[in-house]
């Protein structure tokens, strides 16, 4: 009788393992479906929900890219002629443009590319988890957290390069780990390719991935001995040398192109260095850290309690898992410490490093499971996932998701309908945002206060700033209800329009040439 029972145990264990795998596949599948549903439900809405400034800047490049297919000197016509003011290498924009030319509306095309990159990051995540822990337990906990985190649900479906850069650099990290462990030339080549692409697409995303690769290399070299691993050291040196060299070239080249634009020269890497990095006083200000902590708890982890829950249960996680989870937390903090002002001002910047804190949470749960507390780990995971979905539907993203900012869309559409193609516009009162020019589908000067300070006589030299395009409209948008909509420089610019006619659209005054018919391309 005992023999029968003994023989039955393996079968029961096997059945239990299959059942457990099925449950995890269902959880990951449901998480993926929810994420995809958020993409589809809001696919057709304007890209002005949150940080429309940055979303439309990416979209504006994608719209004008097919005009000449100037990949290196690509156009972002928002600061006048010459129209090229390159920042990131436009790989994301190329994919969005190709999808648009294939018949997908451009707003939707950019969202789709962003979401596919986010979903694609699950592949290197799966591989990295397997390499670190030898099984898929880590991945089964990390993947749902990554997919359902409010920050990923929202920003993963925006017209932004963030998730695309994360995908490229996660692929670099995986191939770098593979190269270190196997020594295969193809792995080194792939690591160099993805590192280079990731860094020229968005350099500020790279630091935690580079440090993670370095830590893994040091761990392996310590186990083997540096002298016996000279090929590995040489290979990694070549990978990093190529990636850093190409990034250095791209930054220098893009700065050189910006210097040819009167206003673009003030946006070079050298001009923005202090703004990007921030100050020591900012880093020492507890108010700033309080704001970042609230953003971490709500937008990334799904509620104020979860950071403290994860910290508490980590005590009971297996030691190996706890150590790697702690390292992931430090990697999450690294880009914030380096680019403090960027992360302080822009809440979308955490999209690039949120994967590390989310993986820290997943690794903690996996370590809890590994140490014999699987029921607790699974229960807490499900509760946190539910909390994430609740916060996404009721928190800071809920209102803009359902009611995007429509003023620039309405103004842009009016301008497009009342101005001819192959003309330019000038916009006042919108900083240097691309929102109105994008929806107007017109090249432009968006004259911010800092631009007018650099060139107070801009209105007298419009011909030079607009290249060979005639001025078709001047848009003036008061930033507050009390602000005088009449702008002195705008008044001077309007004198360049013959037979001017004015209309007020959502509080913005659009002055255009009476009798001209507009042209429309079905981009949105």
Instruction: Locate all alpha helices (DSSP H) within 348-420, ordered by sequence.
Output: 354-370, 374-394, 398-402, 407-418
Average pLDDT over residues 32-57: 95
Comparing CA positions, the residue from 327, 370, 332, 322 lying closest to residue 136 is 370
Residue 264: strand, helix, or coil: helix
CA atoms within 13 A on the CB side of 450: 10
Whether the predicted pLDDT of 225 surpasses 80: no
- Residue 151's alpha-carbon distances to 141, 145, 208, 352, in angstroms, are 18, 11, 18, 10
Pair 348, 152: CB distance under 8 Å: no
- Band the pLDDT of 486: cuts 50, 70, 90: low
**CA 110 to chain CA mean position, Å:** 12
Whether the predicted pLDDT of 521 surpasses 70: no
Sign of CA dihedral 121, 124, 129, 243: negative
Whether the predicted pLDDT of 63 surpasses 60: yes
Q: Give pLDDT, residue 1.
A: 41
Q: How far apart are CA 415 and CA 26, in angstroms?
A: 49
Q: Give pLDDT, residue 480.
A: 59
- Band the pLDDT of 20: cuts 50, 70, 90: low
Pair 512, 500: CB distance under 8 Å: yes
Whether the predicted pLDDT of 440 surpasses 50: yes
Beta strands 508-513 and 500-505: pairing type?
antiparallel
CB atoms within 10 A of CB 334: 18
* 49/226: higher pLDDT: 49
Q: How far apart are CA 336 and CA 282, in angstroms?
A: 12
Comparing CA positions, the residue from 339, 51, 78 lying closest to residue 203 is 339
Q: Give pLDDT, residue 220.
A: 85
- Band the pLDDT of 13: cuts 50, 70, 90: very low
CA atoms within 13 A on the CB side of 62: 32
Map tokens 């602000």 to a residue. Answer: 483
Whether the predicted pLDDT of 22 surpasses 90: no
Residue 328 Ramachandran class (φ > 0 left, ψ -120 to 50 alpha, else beta): alpha
Average pLDDT, the chain: 89
Q: Give pLDDT, residue 16.
A: 46
Report domain extents, the chain.
50-399, 406-512
Q: Give pLDDT, residue 214.
A: 93
- Band the pLDDT of 18: cuts 50, 70, 90: very low
Sheet holding 508-513, edge to edge: 443-447, 424-428, 471-476, 508-513, 500-505
Pair 263, 329: CB distance under 8 Å: no
* 232/83: higher pLDDT: 83
Map tokens 């593979």 to a residue. Answer: 178
Report the range of poorest mean pLDDT among 257-271, 343-357, 387-401, 505-519: 505-519
Whether the predicted pLDDT of 452 surpasses 80: no
CA atoms within 13 A on the CB side of 174: 17
Whether the predicted pLDDT of 385 surpasses 90: yes
């Amino acid at each position: 009788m005992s023999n029968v029972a003994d023989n039955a145990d393996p079968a029961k264990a096997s059945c239990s393992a299959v059942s457990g795998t099925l449950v995890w596949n269902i959880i990951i599948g449901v998480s993926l479906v929810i994420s995809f549903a958020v993409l589809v439900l809001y696919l057709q809405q304007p890209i002005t929900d949150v940080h429309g400034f940055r979303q439309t800047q990416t979209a504006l490049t994608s719209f004008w890219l097919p005009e000449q297919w100037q990949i290196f000197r690509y156009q972002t016509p928002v600061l006048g002629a010459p129209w090229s003011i390159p920042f990131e290498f436009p790989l994301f924009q190329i994919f969005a443009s190709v999808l648009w030319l294939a018949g997908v509306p451009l707003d939707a095309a950019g969202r789709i590319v962003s979401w596919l990159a986010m979903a694609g990051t699950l592949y290197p995540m799966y591989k990295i988890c397997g390499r670190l822990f030898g099984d898929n337990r880590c991945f089964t906990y990390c993947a749902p957290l990554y997919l359902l985190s409010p920050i990923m649900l929202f920003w993963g479906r925006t017209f932004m390069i963030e998730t695309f850069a994360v995908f490229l650099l996660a692929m670099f990290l995986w191939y770098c780990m593979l190269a270190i462990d196997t020594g295969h030339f193809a792995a080194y080549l792939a690591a160099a390719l993805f590192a280079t692409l990731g860094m020229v697409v968005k350099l500020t995303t790279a630091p935690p991935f580079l440090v993670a690769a370095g830590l893994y290399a040091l761990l392996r070299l310590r186990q083997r001995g540096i002298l016996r691993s000279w090929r590995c050291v040489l290979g990694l040196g070549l990978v990093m040398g190529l990636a850093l060299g190409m990034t250095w070239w791209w930054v220098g080249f893009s700065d050189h192109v910006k210097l040819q634009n009167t206003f673009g020269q003030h946006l070079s890497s050298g001009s923005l260095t202090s703004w990007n990095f921030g100050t020591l006083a900012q880093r020492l200000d507890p108010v700033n850290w309080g704001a970042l902590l609230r953003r971490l708890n709500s937008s990334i982890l799904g509620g104020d309690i979860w950071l403290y829950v994860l910290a508490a249960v980590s005590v009971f996680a297996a030691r190996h898992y706890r150590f790697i989870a702690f390292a992931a937390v430090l990697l999450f903090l690294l880009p914030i410490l380096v680019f403090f002002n960027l992360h302080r001002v822009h809440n979308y910047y955490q999209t690039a490093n949120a994967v590390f804190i989310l993986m820290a949470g997943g690794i903690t749960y996996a370590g809890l499971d590994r140490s014999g507390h699987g029921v607790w780990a699974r229960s807490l995971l499900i509760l946190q996932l539910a909390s994430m979905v609740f916060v996404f539907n009721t928190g800071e993203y809920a209102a803009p998701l359902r009611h995007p900012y429509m003023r620039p869309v309405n103004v842009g559409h009016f301008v497009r309908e009342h101005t001819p193609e192959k003309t330019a516009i000038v916009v006042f009162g919108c900083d240097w945002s691309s929102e109105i020019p994008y929806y107007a589908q017109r090249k432009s000067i968006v004259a911010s206060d800092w631009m007018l300070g650099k060139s107070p006589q801009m209105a007298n030299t419009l011909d030079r700033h607009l290249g060979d395009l005639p001025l078709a409209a001047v848009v003036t948008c008061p930033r507050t209800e009390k602000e005088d909509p009449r702008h002195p420089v705008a008044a001077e610019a309007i004198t360049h329009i013959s037979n001017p006619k004015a209309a007020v659209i959502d509080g913005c005054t659009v002055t255009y040439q009476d009798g001209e018919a507009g042209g429309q391309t079905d981009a949105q």
